[in-house]
């Protein structure tokens, strides 16, 4: 493939973001609120639950969908869950949490015999496949990550009281680079951005995540030109091509409904015009 020189341009995106924090910081609750804000409908939200049924604790929020995942938490199982979400036309998916996948891989590596570096060469591609699956899906992703916890003594009312704090994220080093936005939660449910390509939250005071946070992120994600898949729809030259594209990507109908409808109408009109021209030519010959 030849190198190409082009002008920079902003594209519409499906948000890929993460929320980190210690146990009890509100990762699941905050993620669901953001997911609702991102798509506006609970029936288009799915929570992939690896936290022993914790999703059902938030059923009062709305009728969101749940995929309950049991151990072992292999990357392939996560990928299958994402494919199911795509087939069902989900628009925002919470993965709670992706730390279980990393812990599974670390344990798998520890049980392998032979050279440690050589064994990581077998493990890493599996993790990369999962990360790439998250980045490719045609819907928003909110992934939670656990952090190792510790306690520090803070002074309160002239007394020193222990307070839980989050330390290192339980995940492969550098995975935060894959996300557009990363929120860190503390035990008081306060959020701050440790990574923010939107520039809406970085270096801002701590805040409490609400559904409006998701709406704000959604508005940012819609700015710019349509993403690659919408371009693929527009480039279809026949109804056969369009139908094949839909058949190969069934979960895209809701997200790209208007793009499909516009292209379908255009192709049907073009084919009808061509058919009419051919009939006219045949009648002329007759």
| Structural domain includes residue 3 | no
Among 221, 243, 269, where does a domain finish? 221
Segment (H or E) for 269: helix 257-285
| Structural domain includes residue 7 | no
Same domain, 119 and 254: no
Inter-residue contact 98 to 145 (CB < 8 Å): yes
Same domain, 173 and 270: no
Among 180, 206, 221, where does a domain finish? 221
DSSP 65: E
Bridge partner residues of 154 (DSSP): 161
Give the total number of structural domains in the chain: 2
| Structural domain includes residue 167 | yes
Same domain, 170 and 28: yes
Question: At how many degrees (to 10) do helices 75-87 and 116-136 cross?
Answer: 10
Among 199, 221, 243, where does a domain finish? 221
Find, among 70, 1, 15, the residue nearest to 227 by Cα: 15
Q: Note down the domain range covering 237.
A: 228-285
Return per-residue pLDDT of the chain as tens, 286 residues: 466 665 555 567 889 999 999 888 999 999 999 999 999 999 999 999 998 888 889 999 999 999 999 999 999 999 999 999 999 999 999 999 899 999 999 999 999 999 999 999 999 999 999 999 998 888 999 999 998 766 566 766 777 666 655 567 878 888 888 999 999 999 899 999 999 999 999 989 999 999 999 999 999 988 865 556 777 888 888 888 888 888 877 777 666 777 788 888 888 888 777 777 777 776 666 5
Same domain, 205 and 68: yes
Any idea what the CATH number is for the domain that residue 134 is in?
Answer: 3.40.50.300
Same domain, 209 and 236: no
């Amino acid at each position: 493939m030849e190198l190409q020189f082009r002008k920079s341009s902003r594209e519409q995106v499906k948000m890929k973001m993460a929320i980190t924090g210690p146990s009890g910081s509100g990762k699941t609750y905050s993620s669901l609120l953001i997911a609702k804000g991102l798509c506006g409908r609970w029936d288009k939200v799915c929570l992939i639950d690896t936290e022993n049924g914790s999703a059902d604790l938030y059923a009062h929020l709305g009728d969101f969908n749940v995929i309950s995942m049991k151990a072992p938490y292999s990357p392939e199982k996560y990928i299958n869950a994402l494919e199911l979400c795509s087939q069902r036309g989900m628009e925002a998916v919470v993965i709670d949490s992706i730390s279980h996948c990393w812990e599974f891989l670390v344990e798998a590596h520890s049980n392998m015999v032979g050279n440690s570096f050589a064994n990581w060469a077998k493990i890493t591609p599996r993790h990369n496949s999962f990360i790439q699956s998250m980045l490719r899906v045609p819907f928003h992703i909110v992934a939670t990550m656990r952090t190792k916890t510790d306690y520090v003594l803070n002074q309160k009312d002239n007394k020193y009281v222990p307070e839980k704090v989050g330390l290192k994220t339980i995940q492969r080093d550098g995975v935060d680079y894959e996300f557009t936005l990363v929120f860190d939660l503390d035990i008081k449910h306060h959020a701050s951005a440790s990574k923010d390509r939107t520039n809406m939250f970085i270096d801002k005071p701590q805040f409490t995540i609400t559904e409006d946070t998701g709406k704000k992120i959604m508005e940012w994600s819609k700015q710019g030109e349509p993403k690659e898949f919408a371009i693929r729809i527009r480039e279809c030259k026949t109804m056969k091509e369009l139908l094949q594209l839909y058949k190969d990507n069934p979960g895209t109908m809701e997200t790209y409904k208007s793009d499909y409808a516009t292209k379908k109408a255009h192709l049907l009109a073009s084919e009808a015009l061509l058919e009419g021209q051919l009939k006219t030519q045949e009648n002329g010959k007759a």
